[in-house]
Every structure is written in C-alpha cells, then in structure tokens.
Structure 1
Amino acid sequence: MNTNPDNDTDLRRKINSETARMPWAELEKHFAQGSVVFVSPDLDLIDVAVRISHDDKDSISSWMGAGKIGKVTDEQAQAWTEGQALLWTSVVHPFILVQQEKAKLN
C-alpha cells in the first residue's frame, strides 16, 4: 500500500470526488459534536485531507501550531451562521474538514 501522502493519486482522486460545498447550517450538528475542523484558505483542502488520512503528524502539528487548521471555534460558527456561509467540505473520519472559499482575484 502506498503511504506517501505526496504520491497518493488514488486517494487524492477519491477525496476530491467526495469534496462538496455545504451550507454551514447542515454542519452545525457536527460542530456541536466537536468533529468539524477548519482549514485555512491558504492551504489546499485535498492535501490536508490526504495528510490527515495518512496521520502525517509533522504536517498536522505544523499547521495547528500556525493556526492554519483546528477545531472550529464558537466565533467562527457564529459568523458562519450569521453569514449563511457555504463552505467546502471533505470528510476524513472522524472529522469533517471545512474551508471558506478562497477570495476571488479580479
């Protein structure tokens, strides 16, 4: 089995095909269970999902230390509720990774 997160084409395809945009309102129950993790828009959601699925502790620790991934805070949840946010999501059991859309460049 291929365990290199940088060269895992099949897993990347699977995760990419299962990634979808969802309204925050549909994710709130998972947030209440503590299973929703935010991913900074400057990271690649698919890459993060692959590395989490491979339990890449070095990358995960680095991102957490830099505040680029972590459990969704009450403040984030409230802002997304008020803004009726639509977020990119990827499931890496037992977590649901969420990411705001990257700002569009004009």
Structure 2
Amino acid sequence: MTEQPSTLYAKLLGETAPITWQELQPFFARGALLMVGATQDLIAVAQAVAENDQDEVAAWLASEQLKKIDDGDAADLLARDPPLWAVVVAPWVLVQERRS
C-alpha cells in the first residue's frame, strides 16, 4: 500500500467494527481468520499485515500473538461467544477479543 502509515492506521481504525463469532464462521471455513493476541494493538497488527511487514508479522506468528484460528479456537469461540472486533486486510480478517 502506498498510504502514509498514520493515514493507513486511521483508515483501518475506521474500518474496525464489533462482530459476532456467528458472522465470522464463513471466513473461518475459508481459512481466512487471524486472531490477534490480547496484548497487541489490533490496528497496528492490521497495518503491519497490510504493509507486508514480514519481520514483524513473523515475530508475532512465532510468539502466537498472531495466529490462524484453528478448530480448537473456533470451538472455544462458539462456546463462549465473546465480544470481538474485526478488521479486513484482504485476504485476511483479523479478529481480537474486546477488552473489558
């Protein structure tokens, strides 16, 4: 993307919205969901993914602060139905549990 980082951050922030697990299930079925760890800034992670910051994304993946949602995660989210935030960075949908 060619946008300035602060502009991209603001754009992604404006595209972030609350969502339910039920609404996300089709994206899970396609393998397009990434869970962002609770200690991470959802928008900063989305920005790094959008900008293809391979080093940062690889570090988050290695530490599981960013991970592809698997069957166990999906079952847990279905059972708990927690409040979630999501933002799309095609082809991914990044999801994070809302903090209380």
> Smaller-chain TM-score range?
over 0.9
Gaps of 5+ in 2: none
Quote the residue 2:30 is aligned against.
Answer: 33
Quote the residue 2:11 is aligned against.
Answer: 14
**Paired letter, 1:82:** A
Q: Which runs of at least 4 in structure 1 moved beyond 3 Å after TM superposition?
A: none
**TM-score, scaled relative to structure 1:** 0.88
**TM-score, scaled relative to structure 2:** 0.93
Gaps of 5+ in 1: none
Displacement of 1:101 after TM fit? 1.6
SS at match of 1:27: helix
Deviation digits for residues 17-44 of structure 1, max 9, x if unmatched? Answer: 0000100000001101000000001000
Quote the residue 1:92 is aligned against.
Answer: 89
SS at match of 1:52: helix
Quote the residue 2:44 is aligned against.
Answer: 47
Displacement of 1:70 after TM fit? 1.1
Which protein shows a greater Rg? 1
**Paired letter, 1:43:** Q
For residues 65 and 19 of structure 2, what CA distance do their matches in structure 1 show?
20
Quote the residue 2:70 is aligned against.
Answer: 73
